[in-house]
Structure formats: C-alpha cells, structure tokens
Amino acid sequence: MSLTADQKLRQRAQQVIPGGMYGHLRSDRLPEGYPQFFERGEGCHLWDVNGKRYVDFMCSWGPIVVGHGNPVVAEAVARQMAAGDCLNGPSERLVELAERLVGLIPHADWALFGKNGTDATTTCVTLARAASGKRKILVAEGAYHGAIPWCTPNPYGVTPEDRAHMLTFKFNDTGSLESAVQRAGDDLAGIVVSAFKHDFGKDQEMPDAAFARRARELCDANDAALIVDDVRAGFRLTMRGSWDLVGVQPDLSAWSKAIANGHALAAVTGNDRYREAASKLYVTGSFWCSAVSMAAALATLDVLESTDGPTHMRAMGQRLRDGIAAQSAEFGIGVRQSGPPQMPTLLFDDDPDCEKGNFFTVEALKHGAYLHPRHNMFLSTAHTEADIDFALEATRKAFQALAAR
C-alpha cells in the first residue's frame, strides 16, 4: 500500500528529529487522522501536504489573526525585507511599533520586544522581581505561561529549584488568591493572570470583575506587579488589552501570538512604575530586533483597526457557536461551549476521556473543518459567513456520525 505524502514525511522526520516532532505541534497528540505537515495557507484555509483543504479554526495555534498570506501584511513584509531585516541594530520599525502599542494600550507607557510568548512572560516575571527586590510569583493552577522550567506544564527535566518561589491560586477565586498572597508574605513580587482561564481540556472562564479588582488591590497593597499574560488572547478580544474588558489595568503585559500575523514577535508593555527596572534589565536575542517582524506587526495592527477585527471575529465565532448549539440540540448530543467566541472551546458532556470529542473532530476534519478536540480554537478576520457555514456543514455530518455510532 503506497504511503501518502504526509506519511512519507513522518518517516523521514523520525530519522532526523527526536520523536518525529516536538512540542504542541506534534500531531501524535491528536486523534489519528490529523495531518502533521502542511503545504500552504490562504485566508482562513489550509492545505496539508496530501492536498486536502480545510477551513482553519486553529490559525497556527493563534498567530494568524488577519488570515494566512494577508496582502497588507505581505506587502509590508516584502518592502521591509528589501530594505533589511537583521541588522547591526534595530530599524525605525522598532520605535514606530513601540509608539503604536503605547498609543493603543491604556496601561502602556513603554514597550520591549522579543520573539515568542515565553520571552515575554519571563521578562515580565524578571522585571517584577528586579523592581521589587522580592522573589515570590503567584500563578493560577493549570495556567499555561510558556515552555521553560519556571512555567512549563511538563515537569520533565525540571528541578524543584526552578520553581522554588512559585505559589499557586485558583483563577477567579478571590479567597484562594488572598491565601496565596498571605503565603508569600513580604516576599511577593508579582501575580500572573491569563487574559481568561483557557486551561487545556477544561471549560473556559472569563475573568470575574471582582476577582480582577481584588488582584489589582493586592498588588498595590504589597508593592507587587500585576502581570496579564495576553500572549494567547491579545488583540482578539479587544485592541486595548484583555483585562480592559473588566476595567482593570495591569502593570505589565505579555504579548505574542496575534501581534504579527505569524511572523515571530513578542512584546512586553508596562507602566512607568517599571520603566527604570526595564531600562536596567538585560534581555536580548540575536533576532529580537527583526525589522520584518515589526513591519508585519504594524501592518497587522492596521488591518485589525481598519476592520474592527475583534468585533468581526466575535461575530463569526458566535455564528459558529450558534450553529453548533442548534446541531447539538437536533441530534440530542450535549456539548459545552465556553470562552469568548473569538477563541471558542468545544467539549462534550459525559466525555471524560474525550472519546466523543476525538471522534467528532476527526469526522469534521474529513469534511474539511480543522477543529481541536480539547484546546481552545481561534477565529481570524479572514473567516467569512460562507466559511462558517461550510464548517457547520462539516460539523453537522460529524454530529450525524456521532449519533449513529
């Protein structure tokens, strides 16, 4: 039996890449039937190396926010690439992008840049400790803030010393947060919170306004930094920083996924309270000042602002959510849809091992809708009503197959 292009590439990868693939993009962590390798993307569509086309509801796990190959971003990238990318120092794009973020984000008085979300969250934590001279950092149980020892969800290779000054609390539980602050005593440097609770395989929760206000109060009372990890949600829910929706401004924010439409870039924004510490902190990387990524970010922000991107993504996400709810009722199969419509999570009732979810998403995949059985998904400004309706045809067939099973 002849192998597909994807299978051939997997065999080749096994010889030269440990495990054939690594990290969150490993397809062997998804149900059988998901492709590992892709050929191209256009708008909200993907083609795998076997030539199959999908409506994409993962958007490269978040970075694609204005569509694969967006022409406005592509033009800005080509123009900057012709001028230069990795130079002996930054280009003017660095200053322009910092000015843009400071103008957009209420709490931001300054900005620094890196390459990925872990760069940004780690810089925030380091700044909180540097400015305060204290050590303890509070994080929510089950939250994801990156993939290095202080924050990785996988303890393989991690030592207790790596997390000696980490304490946990329950997201949206004010009493739990207060207890963690008490445990930190006079050594509290910062509290890290996600834009919303988007733990893997769990129902999602938006931040409760009272919880958010209490986090702000506790940081103020303890000379600690309130850090919002907006790496995953930033610029999808609002252009102003996700906790602006609950009326609370952080001291520091971490950004990455949607900031440059798939070009590698991260940012830290902060208020003047942390300006001096940021000016002293030594953080760097050979590619952190890439002019092309910054040009891509400026163009991405142009598209998001000119199209009111968060509102469009919310509308398309709600159309998907409403359609799935109607199909769930039609076939008598209980589902739970949570999180903001721009970043939906779909889980099945009475499905502790995700057997229903796995079956459903594989069936939808067969009919051209790329969903995820456990992780939150992502909408982009490239999704149209026609794309959502096509995907709903695929999910209807998946519900039908699940009901027949």
The separation between the first and the last C-alpha atoms of the chain, rounded to the nearest angstrom, is 28
Q: For residues 153 and 279, what is the distance between their CA atoms, to the nearest angstrom?
A: 31
Q: For residues 10 and 242, what is the distance between their CA atoms, to the nearest angstrom?
A: 38
Q: For residues 385 and 66, what is the distance between their CA atoms, to the nearest angstrom?
A: 15
In 10 A of CB 29, how many CB atoms? Answer: 12
Confidence band of 1 (pLDDT split at 50, 70, 90): confident
Q: What is the mean pLDDT of the chain?
A: 98
Are 241 and 106 in contact, with CB atoms under 8 Å apart?
Answer: yes
Confidence band of 22 (pLDDT split at 50, 70, 90): very high
What was the pLDDT predicted at 88? 97
Q: For residues 301 and 54, what is the distance between their CA atoms, to the nearest angstrom?
A: 26
Q: What is the mean pLDDT of residues 32-58?
A: 98
What was the pLDDT predicted at 140? 98
**Angle value at C-alpha 269, between 263 and 273, nearest 5 degrees:** 165
Q: What is the dihedral of CA 91, 93, 98, 100, to 10 degrees?
A: 160
- With a cut of 90, say whether residue 30 has pLDDT above it: yes
**Per-residue pLDDT tens over the stretch 123-176:** 999 999 999 999 999 999 999 999 999 999 999 999 999 999 999 999 999 999
What was the pLDDT predicted at 76? 98
Percent share of the chain, pLDDT over 70:
100
**Per-residue pLDDT tens over the stretch 65-103:** 999 999 999 999 999 999 999 999 999 999 999 999 999
Are 151 and 139 in contact, with CB atoms under 8 Å apart?
Answer: yes
**Per-residue pLDDT tens over the stretch 353-381:** 999 999 999 999 999 999 999 999 999 99
What was the pLDDT predicted at 348? 98
**Per-residue pLDDT tens over the stretch 209-248:** 999 999 999 999 999 999 999 999 999 999 999 999 999 9
Are 55 and 370 in contact, with CB atoms under 8 Å apart?
Answer: yes
Q: For residues 284 and 268, what is the distance between their CA atoms, to the nearest angstrom?
A: 13
What was the pLDDT predicted at 78? 98
Are 218 and 163 in contact, with CB atoms under 8 Å apart?
Answer: no
